[in-house]
Every structure is written in structure tokens, then in C-alpha cells.
Amino acid sequence: MRSLLLLLMMTLSGCGTSSQATSYVSLTQDEEAREALDALDYDKAIEIYQELIAAEPEVYERYRYLAAAYAASAGFDIIEVAKGDVGGSGSLLDAMGSFLPADPTTEQLERMALAKDTLLSIPADLRSKDNTEVAYASGAAVQLEFYQSAYSIMYINRFAQVTPSGSLDPERLESMTDEDVTNILENFSQVAATGGEGVPAAAQKVLTQIDEQEGATQKEKLINYLNANKK
């Protein structure tokens, strides 16, 4: 897992592709998009990558950078997360949640959904940890695990708001619909299904702990889990 995280960090950090002496107008679109990422101008990077992908939809490595721009614009810095102890002995919600908006807006959640859906647009064999022939395949697989988990945790954060007394707001929790619960749990399940240590194992741990809670429905079990673990 650590080697995959290093690959992920190397390919998504240090995005600049031109020297300071290079005229901006001489940059290719790919270079311009990477410069926009470096400058934290995510909307510009998104616009350029969308144009590039529309013109050449089978250049799948660009999907990774578009997804990174979506995620960063949603308030999620995957490089900082990859440096941490996500997937370690602690709670996935705590470990990854500290890098995510505590009360995400609808736009932030939509951007996070676009990040994971962009990676899901890459053919499955080209975003696989088992594919050693394609340089970006393992990194894309790890990136997707992070984004799917982040999406579920951001979704949870919409409802798991701490009151001044230190408990979770029961009205916000009860406002969760069955569709919300399904979206949250399905993303964790997809991550867990990839197997292995790190984030997949942490996602499976979350699902197991939710299933062990009392409750007649998945919503009741999730609420009980959150009350017990997210304070």
C-alpha cells in the first residue's frame, strides 16, 4: 500500500511542466492545465481537462488530473491525506474526515461526486492495482479508493453535526433519507470490495461496525454508529 501511495503522490504532486523562463502562451493545453493545478486555479484546470478529454477521450491519464481538480475544489487535498495514517489503526472517519469540510455545501459534495465518477469513467483494467503494464493504473485505483471514501464521509458530514453539548444533532441525523444512506454505504462497499490493506480494510471495518449496531434498518444502524463514533 505504501508504494502505491508514493506512486500516487509522485504523479499528482509537482504538476508544473514548464520552467519560469517559458512563455505562458507557448504552453500546450496539458501544460497549461498542470500550471493551473499548481496555481490552485481548479476551475481553469477543470475547464481545460474537460476540453482535452472531449477531444481525446481515450487519453485516460488526464482523467486522474481532472478528478484531482474536482476533489481539490471540493476541499479535499489527496496529497496531504496520502501522507497521513489513513487506513491505519484509527477510525477512517476521523483519519480522513480531518481533511474534509466539516459541513460541506451541496456544490462541494457534487464536486466530490464528479471526482470519483471521473475515475470510474476509466476502463476497469486501466485503474487496477494488478495492472503493471500501464504506469497510471495502480495510482488511479488508489485515487479512486480515496475519493469514494471521501465522498461517503463528506455525505455523512452533512448530517453528523456536533451540537454545543458535544453530541450529534438528532434533527440533522433524522433528516437523512434512505437514498442518502444507500449512497454512503454503497461507496464504502465498493472500496472494501477492492480488498487489501489500507483504505479498503478501513472501509470494511466501518461497514462491519455499522452492521454490528442495533437497529431494524440500515439508517438506524448508521445513526447509532455515528452517535457512538463521530463526536
The domain of 196 spans 2-13+27-77+87-229
Position 18 in a domain? no
Contact 156, 175 (CB under 8 A): no
Which DSSP symbol is given to 126?
G
With respect to residue 158, please indicate whether it lies within any of the assigned structural domains.
Answer: yes
Asked whether residue 20 is domain-assigned, the answer is: no
Q: Which residue has the higher pLDDT, 13 or 106?
A: 106
Q: Is the pLDDT of residue 60 over 50?
A: yes
Tell me if 37 sits within 8 A of 71, measured CB to CB.
no
Residue 46 has pLDDT above 70, yes or no: yes
Give domain status of residue 82, yes or no. Answer: no
Task: Provide the number of structural domains found in the chain.
Answer: 1
The more confidently predicted of residues 96 and 34 is 34
218 inside domain: yes
Confidence of residue 231 (pLDDT cuts 50, 70, 90): low
User: For 111, what's the count of Cα atoms within 13 Å in the CB-facing half-sphere?
Assistant: 21
In a domain, 111, yes or no: yes
Q: For residue 17, what pLDDT is reported?
A: 42
Predicted pLDDT of residue 25: 60
Instruction: Check whether 96 has a pLDDT greater than 90.
Output: no
Q: Is residue 19 part of a domain?
A: no
Is 21 inside any structural domain? no
> Which band of pLDDT confidence, cut at 50, 70 and 90, is reported for residue 14?
very low
Residue 5: pLDDT band with limits 50, 70, 90? very low
Per-residue model confidence (pLDDT) at position 207: 95
Strand partners, 168: 162
Average pLDDT over residues 50-70: 96
- For position 90, what pLDDT does the model report? 57
Q: Residues 86-95: pLDDT tens digits?
A: 555 556 777 7
Q: What is the mean pLDDT of the chain?
A: 85
Q: Hey, is 162 helix, strand or coil?
A: strand
Helices (H) and strands (E) in the chain, counts: 12, 0
